[in-house]
Amino acid sequence: MKTFVSLRTCKNYEPESLNNVVETLLNDLGGISSFVKPGDRVLLKPNLLKSATPDEAIVTHPALVEAVAAAVLDVGASVSIGDSPPLGNLSRVLSKSGYDALLQRLPVKVAPFRQKISVEFTDDRLFRKIDLAQEVFEYDCVINLPKLKTHTQMVLTLGVKNLFGTLVGTDKASWHLRAGTDVDTFATVLVQIYEKVKPALTIIDGILAMEGNGPNSGTPRHLGIVGAATDAVALDSVICKLIGHDSTMLRTCVIGNALGAGTSDPEQITVVGDELRGFPLNNFKMPESATVTWNMSDRNPLRRFLQKHMVTVPEIDASICERCGICANHCPPAAIREIHGKMEINRDKCISCFCCHELCSHRAVRIVQPLLGKILTRVIR
């Protein structure tokens, strides 16, 4: 059976346009009543990486979340907004990210993810157990609301990656550490989380997207699109094409398809909605990272060579760094230390997860790509 992906244009975040677009997207997929019934408890999971104003394009725009919340409330269901931001508590992040008006206007609850529950997987999965936020499983329906952004480690953060936020607190760092430098291992963790959370629907905010070195320090770019699907793997693969890339560059699409969590096969996907002029893009700026996927033992000397000469690494600009210590506190392998009044990165320990880049509010962490990596990126893309 074919999977439907709906794409609609929406120039701005004006409530009237958004309400219309959300209604149209939902109708394209069978209407809100196909997903939500009266009396249901519905969890909305936006991207709330950190406190950031909507025009920075770091968080899912509150106006889109409000339009979805209003559609769900209209059915007679209750709505909560949940996440586990790596920096700051959820109420503070919501408030600083422009969600106060939404929370005052609509009867929507705030649901910080605090408790953990161990979810188990079958033998054919790489990981047999993952601890996820218990709160996620207390709802009848989860609606996933990602932001369309680039991501220094995973290239893009779209629907599947957005659910990494259902890990509680420091568990995110633990999984980065466990996956190490192998992007496919990390993509597998993300796909397994997606399989368990099983959002009924994913609606992506691509009105003001982010290009360049996202997900925190990229450049906002107006794309004017909103997409929706029941299958986030399919939606992500369609978004890849829209921004001018094959979905094979997004490992969550490749692994999600291989594991049967969704499909990235164009033959299996029907795209409906508006005619999008100017797409696919040919100038969307991807991150300067050249993450190389290989499966070599840590003892293999070739791996050490490749790591040194090809893998993109972070570098801290001491002239900008405020020595707040946030990067060091969140670095999964504890590769960052303050030495003689300067934050230093131990290259032997670094796994290029770019959590430091993601979390530095001062934009003091730069992405540095060795020459060989740059050449490889050009050849691959």
Where on the chain is the footprint of ligand SF4 (CB under 6 A)? 314, 316, 321-327, 331-333, 335-336, 343, 345, 350-356, 360, 362, 364-365
Shortest Cβ 306–ligand SF4 spacing (Å):
16
Stretch (H or E) spanning 99: none
Shortest Cβ 349–ligand SF4 spacing (Å):
7
CA gap 126, 183 in Å, rounded = 14
Residue 4 makes CB contacts below 8 A (sequence gap 6+) with 28, 29, 229, 230, 269, 270, 271, 272
Listed residue (81, 9, 54, 59) closest to 162, CA to CA: 59
Q: Is the CB of residue 157 less than 8 Å from the CB of residue 147?
A: yes
Q: Which is nearer to ligand SF4, 60 or 217 (CB)?
A: 217
Does the N-terminal peptide bond of residue 46 adopt cis geometry, omega within 30 degrees of 0? no
Rg, Å, the chain Cα set: 20
Shortest Cβ 353–ligand SF4 spacing (Å):
4
Shortest Cβ 65–ligand SF4 spacing (Å):
28
Shortest Cβ 291–ligand SF4 spacing (Å):
11
Shortest Cβ 174–ligand SF4 spacing (Å):
13
Q: Which is nearer to ligand SF4, 82 or 212 (CB)?
A: 212
Report residue 293 as tokens. Answer: 């996927």
Q: Which is nearer to ligand SF4, 229 or 311 (CB)?
A: 311
Q: Which is nearer to ligand SF4, 352 or 377 (CB)?
A: 352
Q: Which is nearer to ligand SF4, 6 or 377 (CB)?
A: 377
Q: Which is nearer to ligand SF4, 190 or 327 (CB)?
A: 327
Report residue 159 as tokens. Answer: 């629907």
Residue the block writes with tokens 């996202």? 214
CA gap 269, 264 in Å, rounded = 8
Report residue 123 as tokens. Answer: 């033998």
CA gap 323, 97 in Å, rounded = 24
> 193-208: b or e for each residue (b if 16 or more CB lie within 10 Å)?
bbbbbebbbbbbbbbb
Shortest Cβ 253–ligand SF4 spacing (Å):
23
Listed residue (203, 192, 187, 178) closest to 151, CA to CA: 187
Shortest Cβ 314–ligand SF4 spacing (Å):
5
Q: Which is nearer to ligand SF4, 286 or 364 (CB)?
A: 364
Q: Which is nearer to ligand SF4, 214 or 314 (CB)?
A: 314
